[in-house]
Amino acid sequence: MRIDEVDSVNNVLRPLKPEVILNAAAFHNVPKCEQEVATAFAVNAEGALNVARVAEEIGATNVYYSTDYVFDGKKLNPYLENDLPNPLNVYSMSKLAGNI
């Protein structure tokens, strides 16, 4: 499946009729994301959107895994879901974009 192509996502998920989708897909090679920015955003942002759209269309619950990289690491306590992100690299920016 090509997560960056909505038709591909649709063709895989629609026949399966899942109740829940656990989207753990990611282009997570951090150094390579810096070199392949378009691929990072295609997979981590557009791909997440494609899964979310298809999930909504078929009535499935979509669970999206992001990353702690969306935070800058300066907080002295554990991060919480409602903390403001501050991504420092392409990988973290693309993962944050997939969560918006």
| pLDDT score for 100 | 72
| pLDDT score for 68 | 87
Give me the tens of pLDDT residue by residue for the chain, a chain 100 residues long. Answer: 899 999 999 999 999 999 999 999 999 999 999 999 999 999 999 999 999 999 999 999 999 988 889 999 999 999 998 999 999 999 999 999 998 7
Q: Is 7 buried (19+), middle (13-18) or exposed (0-12) by CB count in 10 A?
A: exposed
* Whether residue 91 lies in the annotated active site: yes
Q: Is 17 buried (19+), middle (13-18) or exposed (0-12) by CB count in 10 A?
A: exposed
Please give the CATH number for the structural domain made up of 6-97: 3.40.50.720
| pLDDT score for 81 | 84
- Residue 6 and residue 51 in contact, taking contact as beta carbons nearer than 8 Å: no
Q: What is the residue extent of each domain of the chain?
A: 6-97
- Residue 35 and residue 57 in contact, taking contact as beta carbons nearer than 8 Å: no
Q: DSSP states of 25-52 as a string?
A: -----HHHHHH-HHHHHIIIIIHHHHHH
Q: What is the pLDDT of residues 67-94, one digit of tens each?
A: 889 999 999 999 998 999 999 999 999 9
